[in-house]
Amino acid sequence: MTDPVTARSGEQPETVEEARAQIDLTREQLGETVQALAEKADVKAQLRRKVDETRARVAEKASSLQSSIAEGSPKGTDPTATWKQTVDKLAAATRSNPPAALAGALCVGLLLGRLTKRKRA
């Protein structure tokens, strides 16, 4: 009995078991390929993942900024309150319209990319 992989290389299977093994292997590979293509075609899911990643990065940066500002602020003042309000507004805007938030982030990224290229040149 030959291996299903070698049987797949163009040789005809010698037994029914080999043929079934070859068919099962082909089905499995086809299923994986279809699933990968479906994931690539699901633009909404990709957008949701990117928005979630961006939201997590913004929250992390906000937390970092809050802690660094709190360490350097005089006693009795709360400089993090304005930052927290700004971050909350940004998070609310992102939740209410994720595609617009992503488009805005892309525009800012493109603008920064162009500005840094001009400085290098």
What mean pLDDT do residues 39-43 have?
Answer: 86
The domain tally of the chain equals: 2
pLDDT at 8 over 60: no
Question: Do 101 and 65 fall into the same domain?
Answer: yes
Helices (H), the chain: 4-8, 16-41, 43-72, 80-96, 98-120
Percentage of residues of the chain with pLDDT beyond 70: 80
Residue 51: which domain range? 43-120
**Long-range contacts of residues 43-47, Cβ cutoff 8 Å, at least 24 apart:** 47/98, 47/99, 47/102
CA dist., res. 54 & res. 88, Å (int): 14
Position 65 scores a pLDDT of 82
Question: Do 63 and 82 fall into the same domain?
Answer: yes
Question: Do 18 and 53 fall into the same domain?
Answer: no
> What's the pLDDT tens digit per position in 21-35?
999 999 999 999 999
Question: Do 28 and 82 fall into the same domain?
Answer: no
Q: Is the pTM of this model over 0.75?
A: no
pLDDT at 117 over 80: no
